[in-house]
Amino acid sequence: MTAILNIWNVITAAIYLMLLHSRLSHLTDKRQEHVVVGFVVAGLYSVGLVQFLYVMYPVHLAAVFSVWDFAYHVLVVGMVEESGKFLVFLFLVHVIGHIREPQDGVIYGAIVGLTFGFIENIAYFSWYESWFLAVRPVISSGGHAIYGAIWGGLYSQAVYANRSDPDVRVRRNAVFAIASVALIHGIYNATTRYLALATLLDGLALVVAVVLFRRLVEESPYRVYPLSRSAEAIRSLRRGLFFNPRSSYLNRNIGLYLMHMGHIRSAAEHLRASVPRSRDPRRAQFLAAACESVYVPRYHAHRALRIAWARLTDGQRTTYLNQLVRLVGPDHLIVENVNDFITNAFQPRRIRRNSEIALTAKRNRWERRRNGAADLTPDERRRLWQQFQRIPSAGR
């Protein structure tokens, strides 16, 4: 029986973990390909920390309540377990710096809670034998994940929002997150004998976690804004770049919005910064060269455009030119410079042979000597002129 329950526990935890992982986005751009493994390990460490907190926690304070069981679960179990999980989450977030967008905390906190619940279930399978243990992996593991999602999301919102735009309400929400979740956890533990009531409580907590997650997604710098909201998009992207300055995706997007707003030099800098890790560096190079044509000398601007243009296919050239017109308008100086480059790039060029160049240089030297012959006598001038006339005419 215990072996079957453990297998069911593994299957349930794997399904929950896959669901959480599916909500993570842009992991490559955020350089977080293996972030799930890190927070699973953090969840394992939280088990040991919780056991230590149980030893150090003043349990006797709950004895003043007449209903001992309820007070114990609310003031001891909920507070100790949620505090232990949060402290491990907090350490990993600040040491490694994994908060790249606001909703990251929801997923990472849920992973820590899910791992803790998974280990706790194994202990319960060894200590007790009851039909309730069959549904525990679904309800209990999910509940721990939900609790972690709530305090993780509120904390990441506080960290993310207060970097550049302080908000006292967000800090207050982060402070009360642990206490509120610990209260929910304690009430759930105290009502587990009434399965329907405990399930309803976890269902309400799930609704709170989902609403919080959807709200934080709206604040994500990876959200796509229309060009009409470029100013709002630039503020969000600047905040995102504070946490992930090497992001190719964010640098490229802020460059496009800055082009639309007319900040050409800043747009070129961000577009160039997006090239090294971009999936489509050719577009960023072309748009950056187009921006630089406004403030870079014509020779250097055409050289950069020539390099970027040569790397594009015919289809890409048409697509990127249309995008450029949509970003800045058909009458913008950038579009004029690009069209001037395209026109001159296909003009036939007259190639001068080396002999013509040499004769021109020789004739120029004689011209300089003749211009400096004002002090010569008439006979010397005549002889110099005769020598000059014998030089073949070049370049005519």
Provide the percentage of residues in the chain whose pLDDT is more than 70.
84
Residues 295 and 338 in one domain: yes
Last residue of a domain, one of 159, 192, 218: 218
Question: Is residue 315 located within the same domain as residue 258?
Answer: yes
Q: What is the pTM of this model?
A: 0.79
The answer on 240 and 365 residing in a single domain is: no
- Assess whether 214 and 236 both reside in one domain: no
Instruction: Output the pLDDT for position 272.
Output: 92
Question: Is residue 58 domain-shared with residue 206, that is, in the same domain?
Answer: yes
User: Quick one: 74 and 211 in the same domain?
Assistant: yes
| Percentages (nearest 5) of helix, strand, coil residues in the chain | 75, 0, 25
pLDDT band per the 50, 70, 90 thresholds, residue 75 = confident
Give the mean pLDDT of 151-178.
74
Burial 366-381 (b: 16+ CB within 10 A, else e): beeeeeeeeeeeeeee
Residue 396 lies in a domain: no
Domain assignment present for residue 69? The answer is yes
Q: Are residues 59 and 189 in the same domain?
A: yes
Residues 69 and 200 in one domain: yes
Residue 345 has pLDDT above 50, yes or no: yes
> Domain boundary residue among 169, 199, 218?
218
Nearest C-alpha neighbor of 342 from the set 314, 379, 305, 374: 305
Same domain, yes or no, for 162 and 81? yes
State whether 64 and 192 are in the same domain: yes
**Six-digit token string for 139:** 């309800």
- Please give the average per-residue pLDDT across 4-22, as a whole number: 89
Q: Is residue 365 part of a domain?
A: yes
- Total domains in the chain come to 3
Confidence of residue 271 (pLDDT cuts 50, 70, 90): very high
Does one domain contain both 66 and 198? yes
Last residue of a domain, one of 192, 218, 244: 218
| 50 has a pLDDT exceeding 60 | yes
The pLDDT value recorded for residue 258 is 94
| 325: containing domain | 227-345
| Window from 157-161, 276-280, 364-368 with minimum mean pLDDT | 364-368
Q: What is the pLDDT of residue 24?
A: 87
| Rounded distance between C-alpha atoms, residue 337 and residue 339, angstroms | 5
Q: 9: which 2 tokens?
A: 């526990």
Q: Does residue 11 lie in a domain region?
A: yes
Evaluate if residue 378 carries a pLDDT over 90: no
Q: What is the pLDDT of residue 368?
A: 67
Contacting residues for 91 by C-beta, under 8 A, at least 6 apart: 42
